[in-house]
Chains A and B, each alone.
Chain A
Amino acid sequence: MADIYLDNNATTMCDPEVVQELMPFFSEQFGNPSSLHNFGNKVGFAIKKARQSVQNILGAEHDSEIIFTSCGSESDSTAILSALKAQPERKEIITTVVEHPAVLNLCEFLETEGYTVHKLKVDGKGNLDLDEYASLLTDNVAVVSVMWANNETGTIFPVLEMAEMADSKGIMFHTDAVQAVGKIPMNLADSKIHMLSISGHKLHAPKGVGVLYLRRGVRFRPLLRGGHQERGRRAGTENTTGIVGLGKACELAMEHMEYENTEVAKLRDRLQEGILAAVPHSFVTGNPDNRLPNTVNIAFEYIEGEAILLLMNKQGIAASSGSACTSGSLEPSHVMRAMGIPYTAAHGTVRFSLSRYNTPEEIERVIEAVPPIVAQLRKLSPYWGENGPVENPEEAFAPVYA
């Protein structure tokens, strides 16, 4: 039996059509797009086409608003650092406690450089408090950076509304949309979003290519200076294969947007319902009423995530976990902790993220495989008795050091 891949929020398979499209740019189309001659010229046109395809999926007004970068992290760093550089008098940043490390770790570093970072809190379902947000929008704020959708839970944030609020106060608004692009229809021309990050490999393009959308007229300072590429806004010879691949991937994502929101969402719902029905003491984290169509995050209480993943992997099922161990850190996922999920559950969270390649048969296999794995690990757990959790689990087993 073939392995089952349910870790598409980590990365996706490069679509075979994307691979086919980009292959010639490794061989016969090797020219430098900046060159005048035929070798480079054709490559230049291919990049132009890719740029338009990215423009389409974002609903951007101009194709010159698309800047190709190397990844989502580069786009995030470029956006935030540009806002700070362009407005040196503004020393505050607004973001959320549940951002991706690409934004959070940069912000934590900026704190050591003298900036003040406001991290918006979330409630138990991962939703933001817009009143708290409104109260922080002052003239001291250089940039707001809020993800469009959370990578761990799939919870969607009201970025369109938040961008309007920032824009009306003259504050730059950036969104890390790496999980959202291709799954949520966008029309940035009608929005007040100033900057937006894309990562190619999250939507079936290759790794090593990303995009920063930069609304025309928004003040900008490049991260990489040097050559004239990307109109001088991102120096460095273009990653032609990656860019061509991303262009094709955006085209395909447009075609599959509806499928993603109907069929993939159905598979996800079936997976969730099947597992919750068969596994006691498990629950969905995040906001099930407002999340990406492909994502479900389930907490299995009293057991640890890495152990679950290893046993699933043995059966050829790939997913990911918010446990401390899978990341090599000491704390479970900051997203789970921010939502107030207790430790006994946070370490046992498993994220299943689907794609258009998953089939109903695969989902049924996973629904069958997971319950015995959970039961097997609970048998080993000091928090679990014969047929359920021990009484007052946190008191019955309170190890010596905390």
Chain B
Amino acid sequence: MWDYSETVKEHFYNPKNAGAVGDANAVGDVGSISCGDALRLTLKVEPETEIILDAGFQTFGCGSAIASSSALTEMVKGKTLDQALEISNQDIADFLDGLPPEKMHCSVMGREALQAAVANYRGEVWEDDHEEGALICKCFAIDDVMIRDTIRANNLSTVEEVTNYTKAGGGCSSCHEGIENILTEELAARGESFTPNAVGKKEGVVRLNPKKEEAAPAAAKLNPVQRILKIQQVLEGLRPALQADGGDVELMDIEGKNIYVKLVGACNGCQMAAMTLVGVQQKLIEELGEFVKVIPHTERPVEIAGA
């Protein structure tokens, strides 16, 4: 279920100004029955002062649509038309102590009803410039139409750019597949193809608040002799534990990142040998501060062994 604020619930359960105002002189009809919300706002405006004396709503819609309508009528009463027009959809949402992202369009519908009613009063034609698409980014409530318009207007070609221009995808990042699909279509429409690494920009999760990742402290660069000594020292340190199990390890050769060892005694041929090697390798990587591979001497390529 939706996480509605107490104020939303209050305005839904006990809506204010429900029904049409009897002697209204301004009417605004907005919404879309296919989307499931539609609103008729009726106002009684005092002609001399343009003060809104009374407001009423009739709404076909969900809980937040009815609450937004109720809030709107409360907010506009007593204001002049010009003052009322300054109310933004965010103001309506704030009045209700917030709306879930999927429900922000209810506050947009409220603001549009107001514009339509004022236009109706003034004998103007109200042009709706709002088009609603499927919600893509739930973190920032950005829809499909907004993303497409922005891509077209700014010739965007990566998810990162879309995030920078619209915020879509900048939160949890789970809508990136959806954004990539939109980019694929939009780029195809302008004769390009979407490649995740277009224009050399780094794709992937965009972090709004990048956490500083502690880089592993770079091990002081060892010269070849120091490196060999260090490897031997690490292996020596491991031998007592292996010997306790009746085994042993011996350094045979070093070839770049490949360290060849001889497992002797109980370790040799035992099914635990592979695990022992992994443990030895892990220890060496930690101590040397570089990636190395520990390989049984028996698996050494012949030509190298003979070299």
Contacts and interface: CB of A to CB of B under 8 A. Distances in A.
Interface of A: 302-307, 310-311, 314, 323-326, 328-332, 343-344, 347, 379-383, 394, 397-402
Contacts of B38: 382, 397, 399
Contacts of B61: 304, 307, 325
Contacts of B112: 400
Best-buried of A330, A394, A401 by chain B (most CB within 10 Å): A401
A314 B29 contact: no
B40 A382 contact: yes
B263 interface: no
Contacts of B134: 329-330
Contacts of B60: 302-304, 344, 347, 381-383
Nearest to B69: A380
A329 B144 CA distance: 12
Contact of B29 (A324, A325, A398): A398
B40 A324 contact: no
Interface in B121-156: 126, 128, 130-135
B34 A400 contact: no
Best-buried of B37, B38, B103, B134 by chain A (most CB within 10 Å): B38
Contacts of A382: 29, 38-40, 58-60
Interface string B15-46: 10011000000000111111111111000000
Interface of B: 12-13, 15, 18-19, 29-40, 57-66, 102-103, 112, 116, 126, 128, 130-135
A307 B13 CA distance: 10
Contacts of B64: 325
Which are the 3 A-B pairs with shortest beta-carbon distances? Answer: A325-B62, A306-B62, A382-B58
A206 B130 CA distance: 45
A314 B36 contact: no
B131 A401 contact: yes
A305 B61 CA distance: 8
Contact of A399 (B36, B39, B65, B130): B39
Contacts of B128: 400-401
Best-buried of A328, A330, A343, A400 by chain B (most CB within 10 Å): A400
B62 A304 contact: yes
A347 B57 CA distance: 20
A381 B34 contact: no
Best-buried of B32, B59, B61, B134 by chain A (most CB within 10 Å): B61
Nearest to A314: B13
B33 A310 contact: no
Contacts of A306: 62-63
